[in-house]
Amino acid sequence: MPSRRTLLKTAAAASVGIAAWRPGFAQTKADIVIGAAHPMTGFMSFAGVASNHALGDYIAWRNQNGGVLGHRIRYVGEDSAYKVDQGVAVVKKMIASDKPSFIYLDGTPLSKAVARDVLSTQMIMTGGFSSSEALLDQKAYPHHFLSGPTFGATHEILMEYIGRVAKASGSAPRIALVYTDQEFGNEAIPHSKARAQKLGLPIVQEVVTKPTGVDVTSEVAKLRRARPDIVIFQGYIMNPVPEFVRQMREAGLTAQVMSTTYGLDRIMYEALAKNGERLTGVMPYSYGYDTESKTMATIREYVAKARPQQDSISVFYIHAWLTGMIFCEVAERCIKAGKPLTMPNMKAALESIRDWDTGGLTGLLVDLSSHQIKTGRIYSYDPATRRMEPASGWIRV
């Protein structure tokens, strides 16, 4: 009967041995690792679940179609719950164990918090859900890019469209801005006002609401006094816009209702359509049901096979798919040039993307030299087809 001591010694030795054993394996072409921190739970879950599916789908599809020049792509998707603490822990763990070359981040706070860690590796490029121009600072975030226009650029596109319509009709419409007291809402406003002023469009009222505001009666009263012709909502996914618009109509306001990007998705236009409203606004991408775009057809085909119960493709999905495309394009350009995937090389490859065809996802050819894609199109709700249909050509600012 071995004594307790020898038993303990053997166990200790065995555990050290197991910990030290590293299975060796041979690899042909190195995998490209794309990591992601999505807000799969929490109040942004509708965005996180969609973007997780989108990145996973794109990478699976790309692997089925040859990967990146023969390199397989590995996807590591984690949940950040839109909390900085959890997101940072998840990203650090990913950097340590999976060593990704690309990471998709869930928002501006997380992107800022992990910037130092990501930069210090000099091997990672990040993209993500944020549209904040703060992340375009090339000194602080040279490794980051936006897959669309910033909040400000989006509004500039909208103002351009309103300006064109005004010029055609001869009179300048009175514009009111209703926005939330958050980055999603208020970052765009100075740009909006600057471009409107340049185009001679009067901004007659600004109304700020809480992001989770429920009682909007006073805000509507304030708006009513200004008698605007156009009301632009910025920073809302849906609530409380339908109730706001209902009260506006009761107050006798016949203003046109406009919104942008994440506030122009199905959940918003359908809620407004239920009350007979026709939403108009800027979208930097085609919609999921677009028939002109080759890429959109590919997406629809893939989703129908992989997840037949998903009946629509949201803007969050499209955004993440596009980001996946950009990641792979950057990797492809680096590999073609024979350069290793280091941050300076990837940044150079990113900035070399001009006139890149995304198969109709973004309408115009993509120019990422400024780390953002400053194009968009105006869509308007059509009650006949019950969808958003294009109301203008693609605009680049």
Contacting residue, 53, 62, 71, 112, with another protein by CB under 8 A: 112
* Rounded-to-integer distance, Cα 179 and Cα 1, Å: 77
Regarding 5 and contact with another protein (CB under 8 A), the answer is: no
Regarding 45 and contact with another protein (CB under 8 A), the answer is: yes
Q: Please give the DSSP secondary-structure letter assigned to residue 263.
A: G
Nearer to another protein (CB atom), residue 140 or residue 199? 140
CA atoms within 13 A on the CB side of 20: 6
Regarding 251 and contact with another protein (CB under 8 A), the answer is: yes
Interface with another protein (CB under 8 A), residue total: 63
Contacting residue, 124, 220, 303, 346, with another protein by CB under 8 A: 220
* Rounded-to-integer distance, Cα 283 and Cα 85, Å: 32
Residue type, 396: R
Nearer to another protein (CB atom), residue 161 or residue 317? 317
Regarding 242 and contact with another protein (CB under 8 A), the answer is: yes
Contacting residue, 74, 164, 222, 300, with another protein by CB under 8 A: 222
Taking CA atoms, 95 is separated from 5, 29, 333, in Å, by 40, 20, 23
> Which of the ranges 75-83, 191-199, 303-311, 380-388 carries the binding residues for another protein, by CB under 8 A?
75-83
* Rounded-to-integer distance, Cα 86 and Cα 102, Å: 19
Four-point Cα dihedral 102, 138, 364, 286, nearest 10? 60
Contacting residue, 9, 92, 167, 386, with another protein by CB under 8 A: 92
Regarding 229 and contact with another protein (CB under 8 A), the answer is: no
Regarding 166 and contact with another protein (CB under 8 A), the answer is: no
Nearer to another protein (CB atom), residue 62 or residue 224? 224
Contacting residue, 85, 292, 301, 311, with another protein by CB under 8 A: 85
* Rounded-to-integer distance, Cα 143 and Cα 291, Å: 34
| Strand-pair partners of 382 | 387
Query: Among residues 179, 170, 175, 128, which one has the least CA distance to residue 152?
Result: 179
